[in-house]
Structure 1
């Protein structure tokens, strides 16, 4: 980021950017406190899922007029799936800066040892492969899943089964539909083929299970590939990626970060020049795929469809290809609270303390109280 700033400052020497580093897991709360205290920053790099929440509170600037007057930021070049979280009430309050889809990582060596020819393509194949790859006596399991993050990772399976969690406008909960329950039942049912020691962990801390061969399959975003390349070079030739197995249709999950401007900013014109510079094609390429350790997806079509974007990172191309798959709509300011409830309930399912149906029904009631519908 500071390298990008060096280029920006050379172009606009009269504008100084001061950086304030905040840990990702405490950023949202820190920004809430700053907004309440009247000390919000001019701009922020935040999780895309937080944009609508801050926008709904009047804390962010509607960027539509800035975008309309820009020759750099082209609204129609953004991938629709990546802009969903940046939009509130039909307007863009954030500029997607980096993104990822969710796919399947699998250990080729363990698949070969088990006599499996390739990655699973359907729900049924995934469960059969997970079972075949599981041998508790050797501490080998078919797939790693994580209860505390299950509300996130269950989403592609719900979508693939034909379900949704919220209506397209985000104003009605659809969590207890038969299709949503089917997707949740399948995902949580994989727990019996997962390393028990990691069921209450998270996908980042639990990544060592894949590296050490304790889990033959791993569901994650493209960030995981970068982690493996940097931290586990000894198994570089032993893993590959594939789209997530599907039920009725292919599906994925998207995540990413956006650039926003706060309404409290007293330097809005300068702030926009900084956001615009970061959102140029050159900056997006540099940040997402232009460095050895950068493995995110640039959120614009012109880079995603450029074969030069993935030179040396061909495994990343499959994540870009999944952008055509169905995703779950969670565009609601209350989604963070709903997902926390879903995480808690599905964790109980993973540990056999609740059924998937009951978990989804309870979350449906909770969501309906929050958003109505």
Structure 2
């Protein structure tokens, strides 16, 4: 979930805790297999000849832009009414999983894109291939590969990517100038050198900022850049303890010496204060941080900039997060539901929902990301748009992984505090993770 910066942070934590219960709850059904013919047919999808209502579940139904799009949709499709069913961002996943278990899902939902395959694997969603083949608006090849991976299961697309963000580097241009550093680091070696040069512990100045409580999430970009992954491709074994993983962990953990210790037990949202004060010169975060700086610290304009993360041995890699639109297999108004999803996916609507708002969301399509319009409308997002092609959508599909990630987070946190080495952190997490996978 990437909309609303502070809410997204809370929702992400809740989502991790709920992942196991979601997997169990989503299994609840009446035992009937979904209709595999939904969406298939000749020619474009036509409007219903009688009034129909499409229920739309999300945490964004009260957003003015969403309401505006629903009103415009109704003008174009007078026989279709969109009924918003809202839940707070931090409760949305739990509410939706409960409804799926009770066989009362909505027709369409706006969900965390990374949850799409989990719902699809349990027969809760509609394969959208048939519908996409019948229209000209939604083109699978136009989606960024990472976001397409999020919504693909068994080589079929079960969701339409709708918005997203990448993780990039924020840096204080004033601090860089004072230190005589020409620009943002482009390699790991340059990053380490800059962090060291920007650190003056005696005066409370640091080159970087880390958070032990979110250590796994912010380690993943380094893992991918080193050529590693969390699990093997089949999702059945631990992969993060590979040689590449240990190289990434050692580099990442050692950055703690250039980070303020007082913030290690904090989180990336609260830690924004240190960057805003100039105590920290480099800060890794999603594009949401650009909006936070503009909203909360307007006087800093001109004193910070954003850039792609430095490249590792495997080149340009970063984590991505986003949301997708899905249709549930129990819908009785599938054509009307598709017309709503297709309408929201029109280029103008994707642009108006993402970079043309006050927020910092990015569209998930290659055509919009590469358009001059994006760079003109929201220049600060250009580095993050460039990173989209480097985005890695986690291939983790094992429902047991959230428990493993919790352990990985704890172990890396201990290494950041100096209680063990980076290699020991990965070995310990892998040993406990494999025990979980074997159950």
**Among 277, 297, 303, the residue aligned to 1:232:** 297
**Among 56, 59, 67, the residue aligned to 2:124:** 59
- 1:255 is the counterpart of 2:315: no
Question: CA offset at residue 174 of structure 1?
Answer: 1.2
What is the match of residue 421 of structure 2?
355
What is the match of residue 350 of structure 2?
284
- 1:103 is the counterpart of 2:180: no
What is the match of residue 338 of structure 1?
404
Distance in 1 separating the partners of 2:186 and 2:157: 36
Verify the 8 A CA contact 1:156 1:328 in the aligned structure 2: no
What is the match of residue 212 of structure 1?
277
Structure 2: where are the runs of 5+ without partners? 1-65
Verify the 8 A CA contact 2:144 2:389 in the aligned structure 1: no
Question: CA offset at residue 316 of structure 1?
Answer: 1.4
Question: CA offset at residue 369 of structure 1?
Answer: 4.7
Matches within 5 A, 1:264-303: 264-291=330-357, 293-303=358-368
Verify the 8 A CA contact 2:146 2:391 in the aligned structure 1: no
Q: Which moved more, 1:126-135 or 1:44-53?
A: 126-135
Distance 1:153 1:330, change over 3 A: farther
TM-score (norm 2): 0.79
Q: Which moved more, 1:164-173 or 1:276-285?
A: 164-173
Verify the 8 A CA contact 1:338 1:363 in the aligned structure 2: yes
Asked which structure has the greater RCO (Cα within 8 Å, sep 6+), the reply is: 1
What is the match of residue 114 of structure 2?
49
- 1:136 is the counterpart of 2:136: no
Verify the 8 A CA contact 1:167 1:329 in the aligned structure 2: no
Aligned residue pairs, count: 371
Verify the 8 A CA contact 2:404 2:432 in the aligned structure 1: yes
- 1:321 is the counterpart of 2:369: no
Distance in 2 separating the partners of 1:269 and 1:52: 22
Distance in 1 separating the partners of 2:159 and 2:378: 28
Query: For 1:245-287, what per-residue CA distance to the aligned partner results, in whole angstroms no more than 9, with x for missing partners?
Result: 1231222111111111122333322221111111111111111
What is the match of residue 9 of structure 2?
none
Matches within 5 A, 1:88-167: 88-167=153-232
Question: CA offset at residue 301 of structure 1?
Answer: 1.2
Distance in 2 separating the partners of 1:367 and 1:58: 27
Distance 1:270 1:326, change over 3 A: closer
Distance in 2 separating the partners of 1:270 and 1:328: 30
Verify the 8 A CA contact 1:64 1:92 in the aligned structure 2: yes
Verify the 8 A CA contact 2:412 2:422 in the aligned structure 1: yes
Distance in 1 separating the partners of 2:288 and 2:323: 13
Q: Which moved more, 1:138-147 or 1:216-225?
A: 138-147
Verify the 8 A CA contact 1:52 1:333 in the aligned structure 2: no
TM-score (norm 1): 0.93
SS at match of 1:240: strand
Q: Which moved more, 1:250-259 or 1:307-316?
A: 307-316
What is the match of residue 200 of structure 1?
265
Distance 1:58 1:289, change over 3 A: same
Distance 1:326 1:51, change over 3 A: closer
Question: CA offset at residue 371 of structure 1?
Answer: 5.2
Verify the 8 A CA contact 1:289 1:310 in the aligned structure 2: no
Query: For 1:95-131, what per-residue CA distance to the aligned partner results, in whole angstroms no more than 9, with x for missing partners?
Result: 1001112111100011112222221122222122212
Distance in 1 separating the partners of 2:386 and 2:428: 35
Verify the 8 A CA contact 1:84 1:331 in the aligned structure 2: no
Verify the 8 A CA contact 1:155 1:328 in the aligned structure 2: no
Distance in 1 separating the partners of 2:276 and 2:307: 17
Distance in 2 separating the partners of 1:94 and 1:362: 36
Question: CA offset at residue 16 of structure 1?
Answer: 2.0
Q: RMSD of aligned C-alpha atoms?
A: 2.0
**Among 86, 97, 105, the residue aligned to 2:151:** 86
Distance in 2 separating the partners of 1:26 and 1:338: 22
Question: CA offset at residue 328 of structure 1?
Answer: 6.1
Distance in 2 separating the partners of 1:280 and 1:171: 38
